[in-house]
Amino acid sequence: MQIVGDILTVTEASGQDGIKTTALITKANLSHSRLSKLLSNLTGSDLINKIEFDGKHTFVITPKGRQYLESYAKFADIAQSFGLEL
């Protein structure tokens, strides 16, 4: 959950222009193969949209992705109030 939250946070911070794969790998601190699997799940779940232009991929967060981030933040706050660290 935390890795998904990190990817969505980085993607949301990139705004309407989105974020390219290389920048996402760097900012989310993931390997290309790991990120590819996660992005496949995230696009399949409609949390992120993949835009392809000239063979390059750009990722933009969806409204559903923003909703996930809000719910994740609430969950993290609750967990922290019980002394759990995510």
Give the mean pLDDT of 17-31: 93
In the chain, pLDDT over 90 holds for what percent of residues?
83
Residue 86 lies in a domain: no
Rounded to 5 degrees, what angle do the CA atoms 61, 3, 69 make?
45
Please state the pTM of the whole predicted model: 0.88
H-assigned helices in 1-86: 2-13, 21-28, 32-44, 63-81
Q: What is the pLDDT of residues 37-71, one digit of tens each?
A: 999 999 999 999 999 988 899 999 999 999 999 99
Residue 21 lies in a domain: yes
60: domain CATH number is: 1.10.10.10
Number of folded domains that form the chain: 1
